[in-house]
Amino acid sequence: MNIIDSHMHVGLNGLSSRGVIKYLDKRKIDYCWLLTWEEVNPGPWHYQSLPVEKVYEAHLQYPSRVVPFYAPDPHKSDAATQLENWYKKGIRGCGELKATLNWESNEVKLLLQAAEKLKMPVVFHMEEDDSCCLPYSDAIFDRLLSAALNTKKGIYRIPRKLLELIVNNYAPLKSRMKSYFFPGYMLDFASLEMTLRNYPGIRFIAHGPMFWKYLSADASNDRKELYPRGSVHGEGVIWRLLKEYPYLYADISGYSGLNSLTRDPESTKKFLSLFENKILYGTDNLIKGQMEFLNSLGLSKSIYNKIYGENACGIISVS
């Protein structure tokens, strides 16, 4: 059985192409899907350029270990042409599609038409819109926030109550904080469902905090609850979509996937057993936790084989 990490990046969390291979070797993973992240005019929200050139370079270095993906930002007027050009060079899938657009936008439709023509799977990231806080660049201020929030420099997603507590108790912060609106990525479920109907020739692989948040039927519409905890109560919308649309899949990568799996192990066993043909193993460079937790669930060998590799092989076969 091949073990495949279906959601990896070169350059994310400090992993070079060689670092990716070392990780694969250490975990006895046969190969990975290496994805891009491209935004041509990013706003102040967190964004890290993960260009197709680096992905392709890694593929050329390690052709038997890296399956290259590329999702051009649909805002680019030539996005469909770029996808086709890279396909001719050997790109095998479209991903990670992580655009500040709705599925029903003309820009996204043009890109999906190209992906369908090329018979490419599409890995996409869903994330709700939000109001966020951006600290001004200041070394002392950054250290203070890092200590207070135990996070890294850059954009801070701060729960409103915690933010108010910090600001109200440290006056200088009042003059150093500014807010902005993040429009979200690949919204929403209604337009996603319409897209699944309109592009039956594409195998879509879902990922991201908005998708996994709605594992539970009682998922809150509160934008601040990005990673809900606690028991799963009832079947959220993603259960229905996975049941009704044969070419919708999901990868369990990133903190969003790991959080949803670990919040209610019994519900997770039911979910993974029901959708054993739809779930792909992946990490999104968060390489600690997923495999250990999955292995602790005591699923059948058949289910593990599908999640760890067979489902991904069914989407992209690698000789």
Q: What is the pLDDT along the chain (319 residues), one digit of tens a residue?
A: 799 999 999 999 889 999 999 999 999 999 999 999 999 998 878 889 999 999 999 999 999 999 999 999 999 999 999 999 999 999 999 999 999 999 999 999 999 999 999 999 999 999 998 866 555 445 545 554 555 555 444 444 555 556 556 555 555 555 555 667 889 999 999 999 999 999 999 999 999 999 999 999 988 766 667 788 889 999 999 999 999 999 999 999 999 999 999 999 999 999 999 999 999 999 999 877 889 999 999 999 999 999 999 999 999 988 6
Q: Looking at residue 85, what DSSP letter applies? A: H
- The confidence score (pLDDT) of residue 112 equals 98
Hey, what long-range contacts does 47-53 have (CB within 8 A, 24 or more apart)? 48/11, 48/12, 49/11, 50/9, 50/10, 50/11, 50/12, 52/86, 52/91
Give me the number of domains the chain comprises: 2
| pLDDT at residue number 1 | 78
The residue out of 120, 154, 181 marking a domain boundary is 181
What pLDDT is recorded for position 140?
A: 47
Query: Which of these three, 166, 181, 196, is where a domain ends?
Result: 181
In terms of domains, do 154 and 286 share one?
A: no
Q: Say yes or no: 45 and 100 in one domain.
A: yes
Nearest by Cα to 12 from 52, 63, 48? 48
How far is residue 109 from each of residues 75, 154, 188, 227, measured CA to CA in Å? 11, 32, 15, 29
Same domain, 152 and 187: no
Amino acid at 309: G
| Shared-domain flag, residues 139 and 208 | no
Q: How many CB atoms are closer than 10 A to CB 263?
A: 18
Give the residue numbers spanning the domain of 105. 4-129+183-315
In 3D space, the residue among 33, 3, 62 whose CA is nearest the CA of residue 285 turns out to be 33
Helices (H), the chain: 17-26, 52-61, 79-89, 106-117, 139-149, 160-169, 189-198, 209-213, 237-244, 254-262, 265-274, 290-296, 301-305, 311-315
Residue 47 token pair: 């964004």
Question: CATH number for the domain including 28?
Answer: 3.20.20.140
Among 181, 216, 244, which residue terminates a domain?
Answer: 181
Q: Are residues 288 and 140 in the same domain?
A: no
- Selection from 112, 54, 124 nearest residue 79 by Cα: 112
Give the phi and the psi of residue 29 in degrees, each rounded to 5: -100, 130
Strand 204-207 to strand 248-251: parallel, antiparallel, or no bridges (unpaired)? parallel
Length of the chain: 319
Q: Could you tell me if 161 and 256 lie in one domain?
A: no
Interatomic CA distance for residues 148 and 130, integer angstroms = 22
Q: What is the per-residue pLDDT for 133? A: 59
Same domain, 177 and 117: no
**Are both 163 and 56 inside the same structural domain?**
no
Same domain as 268, residue 138: no
Residue 78 sits in the same domain as residue 226: yes
The C-alpha atoms of residue 2 and residue 281 are separated, in whole angstroms, by 12
Same domain, 215 and 246: yes
Would you state the pLDDT for residue 181?
Answer: 81
Distance in angstroms (rounded) separating the CA atoms of residues 96 and 63: 20
Q: Are residues 205 and 168 in the same domain?
A: no
pLDDT at 226: 76
Burial of 13 (0-12, 13-18, 19+ CB in 10 A): exposed
